[in-house]
Structure 1
Amino acid sequence: MNIHVQFDTALAMVSMGICFGLLLECYRRIRPKKTGLVFVTDVLFWILYAILLFTSLYKVNDGIVRPSFFLFWTAGCLMYGTFLRRFFLPIVDGLFFSIRFLYRMISGIIRIFLVAPLLFAVKCILSLARMSKFLLSWLVKVVIVRPWTAIRRPKK
Protein backbone atom coordinates (compact mmCIF):
# COMPACT_ATOMS: atom_id res chain seq x y z
CA MET A 1 0.00 0.00 0.00
CA ASN A 2 1.59 3.27 -1.10
CA ILE A 3 1.60 6.55 0.81
CA HIS A 4 -1.22 8.04 -1.29
CA VAL A 5 -3.61 5.21 -0.41
CA GLN A 6 -2.58 5.40 3.24
CA PHE A 7 -3.26 9.15 3.30
CA ASP A 8 -6.64 8.67 1.60
CA THR A 9 -7.51 5.94 4.10
CA ALA A 10 -6.51 8.10 7.07
CA LEU A 11 -8.58 10.98 5.69
CA ALA A 12 -11.53 8.65 5.13
CA MET A 13 -11.30 7.29 8.67
CA VAL A 14 -11.13 10.79 10.18
CA SER A 15 -14.17 11.81 8.15
CA MET A 16 -15.99 8.62 9.17
CA GLY A 17 -15.23 9.45 12.82
CA ILE A 18 -16.75 12.90 12.33
CA CYS A 19 -19.68 11.28 10.52
CA PHE A 20 -20.10 8.88 13.44
CA GLY A 21 -20.31 11.75 15.91
CA LEU A 22 -22.91 13.51 13.79
CA LEU A 23 -24.98 10.35 13.21
CA LEU A 24 -24.84 9.45 16.89
CA GLU A 25 -26.05 12.94 17.78
CA CYS A 26 -28.97 12.60 15.36
CA TYR A 27 -29.74 9.10 16.64
CA ARG A 28 -29.86 10.33 20.23
CA ARG A 29 -32.49 12.87 19.19
CA ILE A 30 -34.80 10.29 17.58
CA ARG A 31 -34.10 7.34 19.89
CA PRO A 32 -37.32 5.76 21.21
CA LYS A 33 -38.06 5.87 24.93
CA LYS A 34 -39.48 2.34 25.33
CA THR A 35 -36.91 -0.24 26.41
CA GLY A 36 -37.94 -2.97 23.96
CA LEU A 37 -37.50 -0.67 20.97
CA VAL A 38 -34.25 0.81 22.27
CA PHE A 39 -32.44 -2.51 21.98
CA VAL A 40 -33.66 -3.10 18.43
CA THR A 41 -32.88 0.43 17.23
CA ASP A 42 -29.45 0.39 18.91
CA VAL A 43 -28.54 -2.83 17.14
CA LEU A 44 -29.81 -1.46 13.81
CA PHE A 45 -27.85 1.77 14.28
CA TRP A 46 -24.60 -0.07 14.99
CA ILE A 47 -25.08 -2.52 12.12
CA LEU A 48 -25.84 0.26 9.63
CA TYR A 49 -22.91 2.35 10.81
CA ALA A 50 -20.54 -0.65 10.62
CA ILE A 51 -21.72 -1.28 7.05
CA LEU A 52 -21.14 2.40 6.22
CA LEU A 53 -17.68 2.39 7.84
CA PHE A 54 -16.41 -0.75 6.18
CA THR A 55 -17.95 0.16 2.82
CA SER A 56 -16.00 3.41 2.85
CA LEU A 57 -12.87 1.50 3.91
CA TYR A 58 -13.43 -0.98 1.08
CA LYS A 59 -13.78 1.79 -1.49
CA VAL A 60 -10.61 3.56 -0.33
CA ASN A 61 -8.16 0.67 0.15
CA ASP A 62 -9.95 -2.56 -0.81
CA GLY A 63 -11.03 -3.27 2.78
CA ILE A 64 -7.63 -3.70 4.38
CA VAL A 65 -8.06 -3.10 8.12
CA ARG A 66 -5.08 -1.95 10.16
CA PRO A 67 -4.92 -0.80 13.80
CA SER A 68 -3.87 2.70 12.76
CA PHE A 69 -7.21 3.18 10.99
CA PHE A 70 -9.05 2.81 14.30
CA LEU A 71 -6.70 5.45 15.70
CA PHE A 72 -7.65 7.84 12.88
CA TRP A 73 -11.32 6.98 13.36
CA THR A 74 -11.03 7.77 17.08
CA ALA A 75 -9.27 11.02 16.21
CA GLY A 76 -12.22 11.93 13.97
CA CYS A 77 -14.67 11.17 16.78
CA LEU A 78 -12.66 13.31 19.16
CA MET A 79 -12.48 16.13 16.59
CA TYR A 80 -16.24 16.09 16.32
CA GLY A 81 -16.77 16.06 20.06
CA THR A 82 -14.20 18.74 20.76
CA PHE A 83 -14.45 21.21 17.90
CA LEU A 84 -17.38 20.53 15.59
CA ARG A 85 -20.15 19.58 17.98
CA ARG A 86 -21.01 23.14 18.99
CA PHE A 87 -21.36 24.10 15.31
CA PHE A 88 -23.37 21.06 14.28
CA LEU A 89 -25.79 20.96 17.23
CA PRO A 90 -27.72 24.12 16.20
CA ILE A 91 -27.84 22.79 12.63
CA VAL A 92 -29.16 19.41 13.80
CA ASP A 93 -31.70 21.09 16.09
CA GLY A 94 -32.83 23.37 13.25
CA LEU A 95 -33.09 20.40 10.91
CA PHE A 96 -35.26 18.44 13.35
CA PHE A 97 -37.37 21.55 14.03
CA SER A 98 -37.87 22.00 10.28
CA ILE A 99 -38.81 18.35 9.82
CA ARG A 100 -41.34 18.52 12.69
CA PHE A 101 -42.74 21.79 11.33
CA LEU A 102 -43.13 20.35 7.82
CA TYR A 103 -44.74 17.19 9.21
CA ARG A 104 -47.23 19.19 11.26
CA MET A 105 -47.97 21.52 8.37
CA ILE A 106 -48.51 18.71 5.85
CA SER A 107 -50.60 16.66 8.29
CA GLY A 108 -52.68 19.76 9.09
CA ILE A 109 -53.24 20.48 5.40
CA ILE A 110 -54.25 16.86 4.79
CA ARG A 111 -56.56 16.95 7.80
CA ILE A 112 -58.17 20.23 6.74
CA PHE A 113 -58.53 19.57 3.02
CA LEU A 114 -59.09 15.80 2.91
CA VAL A 115 -60.17 14.30 6.21
CA ALA A 116 -62.54 17.05 7.39
CA PRO A 117 -64.49 17.23 4.10
CA LEU A 118 -64.77 13.43 3.99
CA LEU A 119 -66.04 13.33 7.56
CA PHE A 120 -68.50 16.12 6.73
CA ALA A 121 -69.70 14.21 3.65
CA VAL A 122 -70.13 11.02 5.69
CA LYS A 123 -72.08 12.89 8.37
CA CYS A 124 -74.29 14.47 5.68
CA ILE A 125 -74.93 11.09 4.08
CA LEU A 126 -75.80 9.54 7.45
CA SER A 127 -78.17 12.37 8.33
CA LEU A 128 -79.78 12.11 4.88
CA ALA A 129 -80.21 8.38 5.42
CA ARG A 130 -81.84 9.02 8.80
CA MET A 131 -84.12 11.66 7.27
CA SER A 132 -85.06 9.42 4.37
CA LYS A 133 -85.76 6.57 6.80
CA PHE A 134 -88.04 8.87 8.80
CA LEU A 135 -89.70 10.16 5.60
CA LEU A 136 -90.20 6.64 4.27
CA SER A 137 -91.72 5.43 7.55
CA TRP A 138 -94.00 8.48 7.61
CA LEU A 139 -95.12 7.85 4.01
CA VAL A 140 -95.82 4.19 4.75
CA LYS A 141 -97.79 5.21 7.81
CA VAL A 142 -99.83 7.88 6.00
CA VAL A 143 -100.34 6.18 2.65
CA ILE A 144 -100.71 2.52 3.62
CA VAL A 145 -101.39 2.02 7.32
CA ARG A 146 -104.00 4.76 7.96
CA PRO A 147 -106.17 3.98 4.95
CA TRP A 148 -105.94 0.27 5.65
CA THR A 149 -107.00 0.76 9.25
CA ALA A 150 -109.82 3.03 8.07
CA ILE A 151 -111.02 0.36 5.65
CA ARG A 152 -110.87 -2.45 8.23
CA ARG A 153 -112.56 -0.41 10.98
CA PRO A 154 -116.09 -1.65 11.71
CA LYS A 155 -118.86 0.77 11.03
CA LYS A 156 -121.04 1.95 13.88
Structure 2
Amino acid sequence: MTLSVQFQTMLAMAAAGIWIGMAIDTYGRFVHERRKWYWLHFINDTIFWLLQALIVFYVLLHVNHANLRLYVFIALLCGFSMYKALFQTSYKKVLEVLITLISNLYRFFVRLLFALIIYPVKWVISIIFALGLLAGRWVWALVRIVLKIIFLPVNWLFSLILRFIPKQTWYNLKGNWLKKAGILISLKNTVKNWFRKKEK
Protein backbone atom coordinates (compact mmCIF):
# COMPACT_ATOMS: atom_id res chain seq x y z
CA MET A 1 0.00 0.00 0.00
CA THR A 2 1.51 3.31 -1.07
CA LEU A 3 1.87 6.35 1.15
CA SER A 4 -0.73 8.31 -0.80
CA VAL A 5 -3.28 5.53 -0.38
CA GLN A 6 -2.57 5.43 3.34
CA PHE A 7 -3.01 9.20 3.54
CA GLN A 8 -6.30 9.01 1.63
CA THR A 9 -7.43 6.21 3.92
CA MET A 10 -6.67 8.26 7.02
CA LEU A 11 -8.54 11.27 5.64
CA ALA A 12 -11.50 9.11 4.63
CA MET A 13 -11.64 7.45 8.05
CA ALA A 14 -11.39 10.81 9.80
CA ALA A 15 -14.32 12.02 7.70
CA ALA A 16 -16.15 8.80 8.53
CA GLY A 17 -15.54 9.47 12.24
CA ILE A 18 -17.03 12.95 11.84
CA TRP A 19 -19.96 11.41 10.00
CA ILE A 20 -20.54 8.89 12.80
CA GLY A 21 -20.58 11.70 15.36
CA MET A 22 -23.12 13.63 13.31
CA ALA A 23 -25.22 10.50 12.82
CA ILE A 24 -25.20 9.75 16.57
CA ASP A 25 -26.38 13.27 17.43
CA THR A 26 -29.03 13.18 14.71
CA TYR A 27 -30.27 9.80 15.84
CA GLY A 28 -30.29 10.91 19.47
CA ARG A 29 -32.26 14.02 18.55
CA PHE A 30 -35.15 11.97 17.22
CA VAL A 31 -35.00 9.16 19.80
CA HIS A 32 -35.68 10.91 23.10
CA GLU A 33 -37.04 8.45 25.63
CA ARG A 34 -35.14 5.22 26.13
CA ARG A 35 -36.98 3.80 29.12
CA LYS A 36 -40.10 2.87 27.20
CA TRP A 37 -40.28 0.31 24.43
CA TYR A 38 -36.92 -1.19 25.31
CA TRP A 39 -36.97 -3.85 22.60
CA LEU A 40 -37.95 -1.33 19.96
CA HIS A 41 -35.01 0.88 20.93
CA PHE A 42 -32.73 -2.12 20.92
CA ILE A 43 -33.79 -2.98 17.37
CA ASN A 44 -33.40 0.65 16.26
CA ASP A 45 -29.94 0.91 17.80
CA THR A 46 -28.86 -2.34 16.18
CA ILE A 47 -30.04 -1.20 12.77
CA PHE A 48 -28.38 2.19 13.27
CA TRP A 49 -24.97 0.75 14.12
CA LEU A 50 -25.15 -1.84 11.36
CA LEU A 51 -25.88 0.95 8.91
CA GLN A 52 -22.92 3.00 10.16
CA ALA A 53 -20.65 -0.03 9.92
CA LEU A 54 -21.77 -0.63 6.34
CA ILE A 55 -21.12 3.01 5.43
CA VAL A 56 -17.61 2.90 6.92
CA PHE A 57 -16.90 -0.40 5.19
CA TYR A 58 -18.14 0.99 1.87
CA VAL A 59 -15.85 4.02 2.20
CA LEU A 60 -12.91 1.84 3.19
CA LEU A 61 -13.61 -0.51 0.29
CA HIS A 62 -13.38 2.32 -2.21
CA VAL A 63 -10.28 3.85 -0.65
CA ASN A 64 -7.98 0.88 0.02
CA HIS A 65 -10.04 -2.19 -0.91
CA ALA A 66 -11.09 -2.74 2.73
CA ASN A 67 -7.60 -3.37 4.10
CA LEU A 68 -7.85 -3.00 7.86
CA ARG A 69 -4.87 -1.49 9.63
CA LEU A 70 -4.42 -0.04 13.08
CA TYR A 71 -4.26 3.52 11.73
CA VAL A 72 -7.74 3.03 10.22
CA PHE A 73 -9.27 2.76 13.70
CA ILE A 74 -7.03 5.54 15.00
CA ALA A 75 -8.13 7.86 12.16
CA LEU A 76 -11.76 6.93 12.78
CA LEU A 77 -11.40 7.74 16.47
CA CYS A 78 -9.58 10.98 15.69
CA GLY A 79 -12.36 12.07 13.36
CA PHE A 80 -14.98 11.31 15.98
CA SER A 81 -12.98 13.20 18.63
CA MET A 82 -12.54 16.13 16.23
CA TYR A 83 -16.28 16.27 15.73
CA LYS A 84 -16.91 16.20 19.48
CA ALA A 85 -14.40 18.95 20.14
CA LEU A 86 -14.97 21.28 17.19
CA PHE A 87 -18.21 20.63 15.35
CA GLN A 88 -20.75 19.13 17.74
CA THR A 89 -22.17 22.37 19.16
CA SER A 90 -22.42 24.04 15.76
CA TYR A 91 -23.92 20.95 14.17
CA LYS A 92 -26.59 20.65 16.84
CA LYS A 93 -27.59 24.27 16.30
CA VAL A 94 -27.74 23.77 12.53
CA LEU A 95 -29.72 20.56 13.05
CA GLU A 96 -32.28 22.35 15.22
CA VAL A 97 -32.60 25.11 12.64
CA LEU A 98 -33.13 22.56 9.88
CA ILE A 99 -35.70 20.63 11.92
CA THR A 100 -37.58 23.84 12.72
CA LEU A 101 -37.44 24.94 9.09
CA ILE A 102 -38.69 21.59 7.80
CA SER A 103 -41.46 21.51 10.42
CA ASN A 104 -42.58 25.01 9.50
CA LEU A 105 -42.51 24.16 5.80
CA TYR A 106 -44.53 21.02 6.46
CA ARG A 107 -47.13 22.94 8.45
CA PHE A 108 -47.24 25.64 5.78
CA PHE A 109 -47.85 23.15 2.98
CA VAL A 110 -50.46 21.30 5.05
CA ARG A 111 -52.32 24.56 5.70
CA LEU A 112 -51.95 25.50 2.05
CA LEU A 113 -53.35 22.13 1.04
CA PHE A 114 -56.33 22.58 3.34
CA ALA A 115 -56.86 26.16 2.20
CA LEU A 116 -56.64 25.43 -1.53
CA ILE A 117 -58.16 21.95 -1.78
CA ILE A 118 -59.76 20.51 1.36
CA TYR A 119 -61.79 23.51 2.51
CA PRO A 120 -63.03 24.47 -1.00
CA VAL A 121 -64.06 20.87 -1.68
CA LYS A 122 -65.93 20.71 1.64
CA TRP A 123 -67.55 24.05 0.86
CA VAL A 124 -68.64 22.89 -2.60
CA ILE A 125 -70.00 19.62 -1.18
CA SER A 126 -71.94 21.55 1.48
CA ILE A 127 -73.41 23.86 -1.16
CA ILE A 128 -74.37 20.91 -3.37
CA PHE A 129 -75.98 19.15 -0.42
CA ALA A 130 -77.90 22.28 0.57
CA LEU A 131 -79.04 22.84 -3.02
CA GLY A 132 -80.11 19.19 -3.21
CA LEU A 133 -82.21 19.55 -0.07
CA LEU A 134 -83.74 22.77 -1.38
CA ALA A 135 -84.48 21.17 -4.74
CA GLY A 136 -86.01 18.17 -2.97
CA ARG A 137 -88.31 20.44 -0.98
CA TRP A 138 -89.33 22.29 -4.12
CA VAL A 139 -90.01 19.04 -5.97
CA TRP A 140 -92.06 17.69 -3.07
CA ALA A 141 -94.07 20.92 -2.90
CA LEU A 142 -94.66 20.74 -6.66
CA VAL A 143 -95.74 17.09 -6.39
CA ARG A 144 -98.19 17.99 -3.64
CA ILE A 145 -99.64 20.78 -5.75
CA VAL A 146 -99.97 18.46 -8.76
CA LEU A 147 -101.63 15.78 -6.62
CA LYS A 148 -104.05 18.32 -5.24
CA ILE A 149 -104.88 19.48 -8.75
CA ILE A 150 -105.36 15.87 -9.90
CA PHE A 151 -107.52 14.80 -6.97
CA LEU A 152 -109.56 18.00 -6.78
CA PRO A 153 -112.06 16.88 -9.47
CA VAL A 154 -112.24 13.47 -7.78
CA ASN A 155 -113.13 15.12 -4.49
CA TRP A 156 -115.74 17.26 -6.20
CA LEU A 157 -117.21 14.20 -7.92
CA PHE A 158 -117.23 12.23 -4.67
CA SER A 159 -118.92 15.11 -2.85
CA LEU A 160 -121.47 15.36 -5.65
CA ILE A 161 -122.22 11.63 -5.45
CA LEU A 162 -122.64 11.84 -1.68
CA ARG A 163 -125.25 14.54 -2.13
CA PHE A 164 -127.41 12.21 -4.21
CA ILE A 165 -127.12 9.32 -1.73
CA PRO A 166 -129.84 9.44 0.93
CA LYS A 167 -128.67 9.80 4.49
CA GLN A 168 -130.33 6.57 5.56
CA THR A 169 -128.55 4.63 2.82
CA TRP A 170 -125.25 6.25 3.83
CA TYR A 171 -125.81 5.29 7.46
CA ASN A 172 -126.67 1.73 6.41
CA LEU A 173 -123.48 1.46 4.34
CA LYS A 174 -121.47 2.85 7.21
CA GLY A 175 -123.07 0.41 9.63
CA ASN A 176 -122.43 -2.55 7.33
CA TRP A 177 -118.81 -1.51 6.97
CA LEU A 178 -118.42 -1.27 10.73
CA LYS A 179 -120.01 -4.69 11.17
CA LYS A 180 -117.66 -6.22 8.62
CA ALA A 181 -114.72 -4.53 10.28
CA GLY A 182 -115.86 -5.92 13.64
CA ILE A 183 -116.15 -9.41 12.16
CA LEU A 184 -112.64 -9.17 10.73
CA ILE A 185 -111.26 -7.95 14.05
CA SER A 186 -112.97 -10.77 15.97
CA LEU A 187 -111.70 -13.30 13.42
CA LYS A 188 -108.20 -11.93 13.82
CA ASN A 189 -108.41 -12.22 17.61
CA THR A 190 -109.73 -15.79 17.32
CA VAL A 191 -106.79 -16.79 15.11
CA LYS A 192 -104.33 -15.19 17.54
CA ASN A 193 -105.85 -17.01 20.50
CA TRP A 194 -105.74 -20.30 18.60
CA PHE A 195 -102.03 -19.86 17.82
CA ARG A 196 -101.31 -18.97 21.44
CA LYS A 197 -103.03 -22.15 22.62
CA LYS A 198 -101.01 -24.17 20.13
CA GLU A 199 -97.78 -22.65 21.42
CA LYS A 200 -98.68 -23.54 25.01
- Normalising by the smaller structure, the TM-score range is 0.7 to 0.9
Q: Which residue in 2 is equivalent to 1:23?
A: 23
Q: Which residue in 2 is equivalent to 1:11?
A: 11
> How many angstroms apart in 2 are the aligned matches of 1:69 and 1:117?
60
> How many angstroms apart in 2 are the aligned matches of 1:48 and 1:2?
29
Q: TM-score, normalised by structure 1?
A: 0.86
2:142 corresponds to 1:152 = no
| C-alpha contact (below 8 Å) 1:31/1:41 kept by paired residues | no
Q: Specify whether residues 128 and 54 from structure 1 end up closer, same or farther in structure 2 by C-alpha distance, changes over 3 A only.
A: same
What fraction of aligned residue pairs are identical, expressed as a percent? 26
Q: Which residue in 2 is equivalent to 1:136?
A: 139
**Residue 49 (structure 1) shift:** 2.2
**Residue 128 (structure 1) shift:** 1.3
> How many angstroms apart in 1 are the aligned matches of 2:139 and 2:41?
59
Q: Which runs of 5+ in 2 are unaligned?
A: 164-200
Q: Which residue in 1 is equivalent to 2:126?
A: 123
Select the residue among 57, 81, 106 that pairs with 1:78: 81
Q: How far does the alpha carbon of each residue in 1:99-133 deviate from its partner, in whole angstroms, 9 at most, with x for none? A: 11111111111111111111111111111111112
Q: Specify whether residues 43 and 117 from structure 1 end up closer, same or farther in structure 2 by C-alpha distance, changes over 3 A only.
A: farther
Higher relative contact order (CA 8 A, sep 6+): 1
> How many angstroms apart in 2 are the aligned matches of 1:41 and 1:18?
21
Tell me which stretches of 4 or more aligned residues in structure 1 moved more than 6 Å: none
Q: Over aligned residue pairs, what C-alpha RMSD do you find?
A: 2.1
How do 1:98-113 residues align onto structure 2 when only pairs under 5 Å count? 98-113=101-116
Q: Which has the higher Rg, Structure 1 or Structure 2?
A: 2
Letter paired with 1:23: A
> How many angstroms apart in 2 are the aligned matches of 1:39 and 1:146?
79
Number of residue pairs matched by the alignment: 155
